[in-house]
Each structure stands twice: as structure tokens, then as C-alpha cells.
Structure 1
Amino acid sequence: MDEQLTGGYSEPCGQCAAVDWGVSDEGQFFCRSCHNVIEKTREVEDVTTLHSINSRISQITKPKKKRDEGGREWIICEGFQFILNHQAKALVSLGVCMKFETEVLWNFWKIYLQNTQQAFTKNPVYTPRFTVFMKSQSDEEVNSPSQQSNHTEVASDMSEEMSVSGYSSEVQSSVLSKGSSDVGAYPKTKGGKERNKFMSMPRTLALCYLALLWIREAITLADLLRLVSEGRIPYVNIHEAFPEEMRLFGKDVRFFNVRYIPSYSLVHKEAVALAQIMKLPSFPTISQDCLLHPLPLTVRYLLEANLPDDLHIWVHKVIRQASMGDSSFLTFDPSKEKPHLVCYDIQAVAVIIVALKLLFKLDDHEEWKLSEEAGKKKKRVFKLKKWFDVVQPVLEKARKREEQEEARRKWGTTKPFITTLKRKCLTLKKRRVAEHLEQKFQKFTDSAPEESSSLNSHTSFRFSWGNEEGSDGPSIFNNHLDCTFKKDGIKYLSNRKYWHLNLKACPPNKCGDHFSEMEPRLPRMYVWVLDLFSFILGVSQTEVHKEVLNVERCFLKRNYEPKVQWTFASCKKKKKTVEKKTHVNEEHINDGE
């Protein structure tokens, strides 16, 4: 028993009769043996009343915060602004330019608040008791990021930039300890246009992604979610960093309690929705000098997957044939009726997969035959069998390591949410019991909790290929491709036919994805390649396969004439894998040699 905290209190516990007292963060005494909480609190001398020797206070907090237990009136958008501020600072510390935080993201946030009438307007729609005003600009000046770039006044802390004034006399001090003041004004339904205007935790990442895309940073959406998963961008339990005066309580759990890291498709969808809500103009052009362009981006994933550099020549041909390198196709324009935001990273790996199918077919037969023939010619020729033997064990090892890191992830929070005053005591008691059991188990195992290796060192690549010490395996990047032959003066591909599924797209919003139904009948080598790139990006195989079909629709637009069409009625039934074969040579892909 710590005599300094308990002051020599030696009364036995009323439940277990033990004399083993501790003091919680709230100043309440509790039994370390049975975790029973008693009414006694820690006594601390009040230094402000020196004239009275016997004057005592019954709480640890400062006297000036005693009225509202350290809380103040705050609104929900202030909480999300605090989170965006921390996420922006984390990205800047990772190497993103300062313009991202000081101009683009802050301006996007102001436009969002004004267009949804949550702030920077005379009559906030969800906070009728407040008048939210802006210090430096009028409402009419906040129109577009281009207009604000020349007239931006950025404070040292984004949380200090928003001012709330005009408190109503109806708001009493009892509200101050019950979380955000405007949580009751938000609709409870999950659907509807009004609900779509609300900010959420996944939308904070979507807003950061839009700001990164605006300044054309070389951080893809998959990279952003990976940084979140590694804890380098605050997201999980970010409410623990809230200042003391912003107390979370009750219904605030709907907005700030994070139970999972959002998926790629969810954040991508929210980014498009936010761009439409903010009515943003066309984004800066994605040209070949931008690292989000498929030409430089595919080089990165060729290195990541340990594929030969010569494959990029064929990747370039696929991009040119599919007209996917045009700036009009790649640049995001939210002002269109149906805006399309390209999944730059998934599209890049899909182009690589199409090039692999073009050269090696990936039908569980042709690729191994070509690999055996290449093995008889030269030592430095790329052999797909050797590539599989090198990458497969490394992939399995990396997947197991990722599963272990995910199992060690702590989703619990040191500051639990208090949903009701009745459950406050029970919630705090459960937290103390959990911490006590964790300490006991650590003593039994005689080991401290292991830190995740991803937090110690960070790299943009999941694998490291080469002959250096610590590499995952030998590099095949410098191997040569031998996948063509000449006949009658015409250069043909060693793989004469290209197979693909039925490219007839299903009706939107009427038919779901069919990859789970088709996967057992697809070639195993093709499925393994999907699995490899889906692990590299941290997305599902379904999303990669869907983008492969989109690339094939663009690539085969001149030669593809569907003979079997899927109607909406046939989509409801179990599909058959429709395989088509197209004769290919270098004339079909505009070689120009």
C-alpha cells in the first residue's frame, strides 16, 4: 500500500476485509484486491487558502475547473478539426510539404464547414445556440482553393482558428460535463441527404487524401491507409489526445469511437462524396511528371513484386493501347455529373497483371511451358517458375508477420467512453480490472509487451529484394524477357492467345460482384498474382480483379465483340466462368517497330 497516496488509511475493505487501498485518477479510493470503490477521496491541501490550516479539497483537479469538472462547451466539428490538425502534422512530419497543412487541407475544411452550414455562417444549421464566425475572411470569400491560396491566414494551431461565441442563457453548467453541446441536434437516422453531410472518422482520411491529391503528393490511398494501420497517422483512439476541456460523453461515442480501420473502397467513396459536397473545381492535371501517373507508378510496383525491368516496356504498350495515360482520363474533376476518381495504385498493378497475362497467359499451363523453354536459353532470362519460387515463401512469411502485428494491436483505450452517468463507476472499474490483470499477466510471463516492428522503421516497400544482408530474397529486376519470336518477318508473342472473362459489365446498383463465385474456377496462377498485389496494396483480391477487368475493357476495345451477354436476370443466378481467347501479336498493341 502506497502511504503517500492513501495517507496511511488502514480501514479494512467492507467486501473482502483486505487492507490494500489504491487511489484512482479521479481521486477515489478503491480496494486493489476486489476493486471495490468507496466514497472516501484523496485529501489534498488547498494552497489557495493558506489562512486556514484545516481547509481541504476532495478532488485532484485544479480549483478553477471544479465547477464543470474540467470541461467546457464545445461542438462536434471542433473535435474533427482537432483530429485533422493532428493528422496533418503527422503527414508533414513524414515529408509532405507544408503547403498541404497550411493552405490546402485548412481551406478544404473551411469550404466543407461552410457548404454544410456547420460553421463560418451566420446561422449554423446544427448549432442554433451558437454563432460561429471567422476571424479573417467573410463567408463570400470562401469559394475555391485557388481563390483562398492568395488570401489565407493560418494560425499556429487549427483548433484556435474557430471561435464560438454567443452562448445562450438556456445552456446551463450541467451540460458542460456531458460531452459536445450539439450532439442532440444531429439526426439519428443513418440515411438521407442530411446524414451524408456529417463528418465522420473515415471522412477525415478522405479529406486528407483529397488534399494530398490536390498538391499531387506521391502518397496513394493505399499508402495513406498503411500509415494509419502502422500508427504513424493518428486515427485509432485519437480521442485520447483531446484536451482536458473537451470531455467525451454519451452520444459522442457515435462519432469518435473507432472500432476498425476503414477499407480502401470506403475511403475512396467518401472522398468522391466530400468533393461533391464542397463543389471543388477540377484538380491539378496528372501528367507524366507526376508520380501518380501509371508510367512511374508501375515502376514502383515492378520493384515491389520483384519483376524484371524489361516488363515495363510492355506495361507502357498496354497503357498506350488502353489510352490510360491521358491527363483527361487521370485528372479528377468533381464538377462533372458523374465524377470518376481513378484508383491510381490499383490501376497500376492491374496494368502489370494484364501485361503478365499478355506475355505468359497465366492459365496454369502456358506460363510453365514458356518458363521451361526460357530456362534452356540463357541464365539471365526471366523464368516465371523461378519468380514464383522466390516470392511465394517471402509472401507467406510477410503475411504471418502482419497477422501477428494485428493480433498485438491494442484497440482498447486508456480513456474509456462514458455513455451514461449510471455506468461511469462500472466502466472505470472494468478499466482498472483490465489494467490490473494485464500487469499480473506480464509479471507471470516476466516480459514486457513487444513493440511493433513497423513503428521502429518505415519504408514505402513491403519487400526488400537484393543480395544485401537482411534482404528478403534475390532480385530479378535486371533479368531479361524472351517472349517473342519472328516468323516470315513478323514478330509474334510466344503466347499467341489472350484469355479474359466476359467483359460485359453488370448493371450498376443492381448486381453485385461475382469474384467469389468465379474464383474457384479461375486459373490458380492468376489468383496467386491477384493475391500478391492485393497484399502489397493492402486491399482485397476483389478490388484488384475488378480493376483488371476495367483495364481489359479499355485495352481490348478494338478487338472485343461480346458473343455472350449477361442480363440482369442471368446475374441473379450462379454464373459460369466465360473464357474468351483473342489472338495477339505486336500489331495488336501498336508496337511501331
Structure 2
Amino acid sequence: MDEEITDGYSEACGQCGSVCWAVSDGGQFFCKNCHNVIERTREVEDMNTLPFNSRISSLASGKRKRNGREGARDWMVCEGFQVILKLQAEALVDLGVCPQFKADVLWIFWKRYMQKTGQAYTRRPVNSIRNLMDLTSNSEAESSVCFNDASCHTETASMKGTSKVSGYSSDGRSSVCSGSMDAEYYFGRKERKNLMSMPRTLAFCHLALLWVREAITLSDLLRLVSKGHIPYVNAHTLFPEEMRFFGKDAMIFRVESIPSYNKVHREAVELAALIELPTFPPVSQDCLLHPALLSLRYLMDANLPDKLHALVCKVIQKTAMEKDSFLTFDPTEKKPTLLCYDLQAAALIVVTMKLLFRLDDKVEWKLARKADEKGNEMDHGKKKKKTKKGGKMFSLRTWFMIVQPTLERARKKEKQAEAMQQWKSKKPIIPSLKHKTVVLKRRRVVEQLQSSFQALSGSAPEQQVSSPSTFLFLWGDEDGADGPSLRHKCLDYLMIKRQKIWHLDNRKYWHTDLRKCHPGVCGDHFRELEPTLPRMYVWLLGLFSFMLGVEDAQLHSAVVQVEQRLLTKLGHK
């Protein structure tokens, strides 16, 4: 069979001397013993497949690649990022985001970025990407891409696969170390602040989601990326075939980790200021990004009682965190502040838990014993006075014993998924054309070893792709639930009626130092404080930090900000 495929080629291999040839998918001959690739290729003998009677009706307008590779064309780095943004937008729309997100918001943001950086949509585009940093004076005089211009919405019904980048001619400088024309300009620069990057694609999506007021927060976006529901890792493998990818292109588009929450948030703020976005639409009370609704979602995910939500709303009112002026993002300010809506909602829950249970490793366990005693009295009928709904009391000890093992299993599962993450793409990345043969040979060796190992160990492991979900845990009596639900438990034992007014049983509140630190001098103090903080408070931070995919220090900082506003409004020093 091999002789029929190789047309009876019987020459000995120049490296190992064996006659054991095979043909790759590309038609090249290689030795199956040493994987040496030779210049001989398989020719097509089936003449019936050739269109003898076809006539040439038009000439292809696309430009062939400068090195003469068949089917390739010239492309810019910004085209690659535009293709990735298009794929990410389509993935979000498939997940349920409104269709206007892609064509009317994200595409407009991208056009403004291309215009402000002088790469397109301007009368005087830059001639090379070296001038991207000196565009302030040039961009101000040009016609800007605005949101009220009807032509912006009718110009493109959907995002294109290629960009109309001006200023580059076919006889311009060519790069021999990359598939794109301008990849080499992305390296060796002292300042690359305005250049595009892979984390900045997620910043584009985050800003567009905030503009349309979708319920997908930044933590949700990063979780969808890590689960593979949004193209990010090895997104270059989805490029069209004519956009040849090799060399320095890998240093721009290839990623080996998911960007952190802080990095994407910082990129979003810088990007909004760069493209000079107007004030974002207000966050109304019926918007799912409002802290009242977002905190209800996290209460359900953490298996906390529904009655706790009323107390969280009171904290929101006391801190004045429900006002539009506080919630709305305004990039036109001198120092724009983009709120972390998910961190704030979790911080409000932590502050409310401290108000109820104090969380000092003493009071919360006393209140837990009190809840157990109240529940036992109600069960045995020893006390006639019952709560309004007659339900059982919420015990912090019971809640901790249910949530703690579930949290540990989720952490272990996440570590296993991270260890099994395939960061390398199936398509080999060629650093240069002269190393193409070596790279392809190594890839064939790896594929043969993998197939041999799978044959010895059994069937290939099936990768289970989890369906996207807003909630991380499942509480209830259903099959596969993480534990029983506590959302209907009562909190009446935490309230005491004094002079016809209900007060909290916990009359004290502890907090760390609330002095504001200078951002340029002080850093993160959580590592210094963590050994001295109560263990229950640290565990609660860990629970919500895991749910949001952030560090404990970030959530602690958000808690401190809520406490500053709360105690300032209450008049305490």
C-alpha cells in the first residue's frame, strides 16, 4: 500500500539509508523511520478532475504573499486582532448577548480605536506603525467616529473579516520573519502603550458589555474565556487560510495564560480614555449590574438566606452606592474610575455578614449555638412564640459545614482543569521558513508518540466541556446538587426589639485601618494583615474570591472601601 501511495519510489533515505517512504497531507515525501522530509512531492494523475473547459472570467484582486506562497496574501497585525474581536463578539452573541452588541457597539469602539491611533478612518493615515504614538495632533483635526452618526450604523451591518487599513503599499517594507507585514514593528520599542494586545481584546468586550448593560461582569467574562466558550487561547488557529501565521506573529497573538482581573480592568480604563468614549448609560435599579440585583445573585450562589438581601439593600442605601453618579462610568473625567460591580456586590455581602455575626471567631459561634437552641425549641414545641413564617433558623456553623467541602472540591477541580489545559495549538507554529522542516518533523514525532501512548493506555480521555452558567454552585435536593439549600432559613434570632425598635443582636463592629493610602507610595497591605485577621473573615473572603476568580486582597480592598463609606455616612471616626 505504501508503494502505491509513493508511486513506487525506492530511493534510500539520505540520513538513515532505509527505504520506508510515506506522503504527508501536503503531498510531501518523508521517511517513516527518521522523519526526514525530501523535496519530492506527489503529483496529481487523475486528469478527469481538471476543468479543461473552464474559462477565465476575472482576475483575483487579492495580493499574493511576497515570498510566493500559494494562496497567501498580505495582512496587517490589526487585521488579526479584528478577526479575533469578531469571533469573540459572535461567541458572546451566541451565549445570549443582544445582537446590537456586535455591530452597533463593539464595531464602533474598534473603529474609534483605529481612527484615534491613525491606522484607518482618517484622512491622513500613518505610513508605518512606528508613528502610532504621535497621533494626538493628527487625530483631533479629523472627523471622529461618533455614536449619533447614522452612517456609523449603516456603514457596516456586521464586522468584516478584514480591515481597510490605509497607508501601506504592496511595495512597502516586507518582513521575512513573520506572516504579517508589520509584526516586526511591535518589538524593540520603548513605548507600546497604544498598540493592540490580546488582553486588550477582552477589554474591548468588557467595555462593550458595560455599554449595553449586559449581566456578564468582568469575572464572568474571564471565566467564559478560561472554559473555552470565548476564543482567546490559540485564537490564531481560527484565522483564515490566506492569513499565513508564523515567526513573530506568535509573540503577538499566542497566549499561555488567562489575564488577571486587574490587568483587564486596567486595560479597559486606559482604552476608554484613549478612544475618548462618552459617558456610559446609567445603571438603573432594574439593570442586572446594579448592586441590589447583583448581590442577590451572589447570595444565591453562596447558599445564604434570601432574608439577608434586605439587610444588604439597607447597607447600599446607607453607603449611597445606588446613585447613578456613583455607578455610571464617565471616561471624560480627569481620573476616570471604572467600578468593579462584581467586587462591590460581594464586598457588600461581606460587610453585612460582619454586621450580623461580627466574624471575630467568637461571636458568630455563640450566635450559631443560639440558632441551634432556637431551632430545637421550635422543633419540640417547647416555645409557643414562633417566627413569622415558622421556618428554621439559619446557623452559621451548619452553613460552614455544608459550603466548606463543596468549596474544596471546586478548588481541586479547578486546579485539575488548569493542569490539563492545552496551551499549545494543534497547528505547529513555525518560527521561520528555514526551520519549517524541523518543526513539522517534531510535530509528527509528538503525534505518533501520543497515538502510541493512547493505544497502550486505552481510549483517549474525553474532554468534558461544561455548559456556560451564571452560578458556580448548585444548591438543592436535585440530583448532582452540591448540598441542601439554606435560602429559606430565618434570621429573626439576630434581631432584638428595644423600645419598639428592632436592633441587631451584635452591637459592635470591627474593621481594619481605614486610612486611605497614597496609590504611588503604599501598596497592598493584605499580606501583612492576613495573619492577624479572624479566620472566619479570611475564609469568607476566600469563598467569594473563588466565586469571582480574584485574589483575596482585591476583595478585602473592596470591603475596606465599603466600610469607609458606611462609617463616614454614620458619623463614626
TM-score (norm 2): 0.87
- Following superposition of structure 1 onto structure 2, how do residues 42-57 of structure 1 map, counting pairs within 5 Å? 42-45=42-45
Q: What RMSD, in angstroms, separates the aligned Cα atoms of the two structures?
A: 2.7
Paired residue for 2:243? 246
Of residues 244, 265, 289, the one that matches 1:292 is 289
Paired residue for 2:386? none
Q: Which amino acid aligns with 1:451?
A: Q
**Once the two structures are superposed, what CA deviation does each residue of 1:318-352 show, in whole Å capped at 9, x if it has no partner?**
11111111111000000000111010011101100
Paired residue for 2:449? 437
**Once the two structures are superposed, what CA deviation does each residue of 1:232-287 show, in whole Å capped at 9, x if it has no partner?**
11111010111121112322222111111111111010000010001011000011
C-alpha distance in 2 between matches for 1:315 and 1:535: 21
C-alpha distance in 2 between matches for 1:465 and 1:5: 59
**Alpha carbons 1:374, 1:383 under 8 Å: kept:** yes
Q: CA deviation at 1:489?
A: 4.3
Paired residue for 1:154? 156
Q: Is 1:548–2:549 an aligned residue pair?
A: no
The 3 A distance-change label for structure 1 pair 558 and 98 is closer
Q: CA deviation at 1:121?
A: 2.1
SS in 2 for 1:441: helix
**Alpha carbons 2:28, 2:39 under 8 Å: kept:** yes
Identical pairs, percent: 54
C-alpha distance in 2 between matches for 1:368 and 1:128: 63
**Alpha carbons 1:294, 1:348 under 8 Å: kept:** yes
C-alpha distance in 1 between matches for 2:263 and 2:173: 37
C-alpha distance in 2 between matches for 1:355 and 1:47: 79
Q: CA deviation at 1:436?
A: 1.6
Paired residue for 1:414? 426
Of residues 509, 528, 544, the one that matches 1:498 is 509
Q: CA deviation at 1:555?
A: 1.0
Q: Which amino acid aligns with 2:404?
A: Q
Paired residue for 1:84? 85
Paired residue for 2:30? 30
Paired residue for 1:306? 303
C-alpha distance in 2 between matches for 1:306 and 1:51: 67
The 3 A distance-change label for structure 1 pair 7 and 364 is farther
Paired residue for 1:471? 481
Q: CA deviation at 1:509?
A: 2.1
**Once the two structures are superposed, what CA deviation does each residue of 1:434-463 show, in whole Å capped at 9, x if it has no partner?**
222111111111121321342xx2221111
Q: CA deviation at 1:477?
A: 0.4
Paired residue for 2:185? 185
Tell me how many residue pairs correspond in the alignment. 536
More moved, 361-370 vs 31-40: 31-40
Of residues 381, 388, 396, the one that matches 2:393 is 381
Q: Which amino acid aligns with 2:402?
A: V
Structure 2 unpaired stretches of 5+? 53-63, 132-140, 380-391
**Alpha carbons 1:155, 1:161 under 8 Å: kept:** no
TM-score (norm 1): 0.85
Structure 1 unpaired stretches of 5+? 53-63, 131-138, 563-593
C-alpha distance in 2 between matches for 1:382 and 1:9: 80
Q: Which amino acid aligns with 2:196?
A: M
Q: CA deviation at 1:490?
A: 4.5
C-alpha distance in 1 between matches for 2:11 and 2:478: 66
Q: CA deviation at 1:424?
A: 2.4
Q: Which amino acid aligns with 1:213?
A: L
SS in 2 for 1:159: coil
**Alpha carbons 1:28, 1:41 under 8 Å: kept:** yes
Paired residue for 2:568? 557
Paired residue for 1:512? 523
Q: Is 1:427–2:424 an aligned residue pair?
A: no
C-alpha distance in 2 between matches for 1:336 and 1:477: 41
- Following superposition of structure 1 onto structure 2, how do residues 90-105 of structure 1 map, counting pairs within 5 Å? 90-105=91-106
C-alpha distance in 1 between matches for 2:281 and 2:569: 31
C-alpha distance in 2 between matches for 1:92 and 1:240: 21
**Alpha carbons 2:115, 2:122 under 8 Å: kept:** yes
Q: Which amino acid aligns with 1:6?
A: T
